Amino acid sequence: MRKIVMMIVFFFAVQVGFAQETQDTFVQDGDKVEATYYYDNGVVKQHGFFNKEGKLEGTWTSYDVNGKKTAIGNYTNGKKTGKWFFWSADNTLTEVDYKNEKVDNVNVWTKSRIASRD
């Protein structure tokens, strides 16, 4: 009897585990595809768009496993463009400017000068 109960508990645990998995999503939005990637815990990992050639396009945002923003920036036809922001665990914000596919300027902001990232 104990083996049967253990098998039922195991089966239930496996089913609950599979039910909690979050699938990455891809949604057609005009001539772009909106993509959302998830961590195993269901929190959004990355969100952004692909163009019709399958290259990264527009604003992409990355998050840590707890849902805190870690990066935001823009792509044009698969290439980094404009201002990008990177938040670190020690509350340092790094601002990176891209020009002609290369880093043009970098500013590092300390905790006392960072705006909220939530």
Question: Domains of the chain (ranges plus CATH)?
Answer: 23-113 (2.20.110.10)
pLDDT interval class at 20 (50, 70, 90): low
Asked if the model's pLDDT at residue 7 lies above 50, the reply is no
- Strands 69-76 and 93-99, bridge-based pairing: unpaired
Q: Which helix (H) or strand (E) holds 6?
A: helix 2-19
C-alpha span between 76 and 84 (Å, rounded): 13
For 44-57, how does the pLDDT look when each residue is reduced to its tens digit (9 = 90+)? 999 999 999 999 99
Q: What pLDDT was estimated at residue 34?
A: 97
User: So what's the pLDDT on residue 13?
Assistant: 42
Residue 32 has pLDDT above 80, yes or no: yes
Q: What percent of the chain has pLDDT over 70?
A: 76
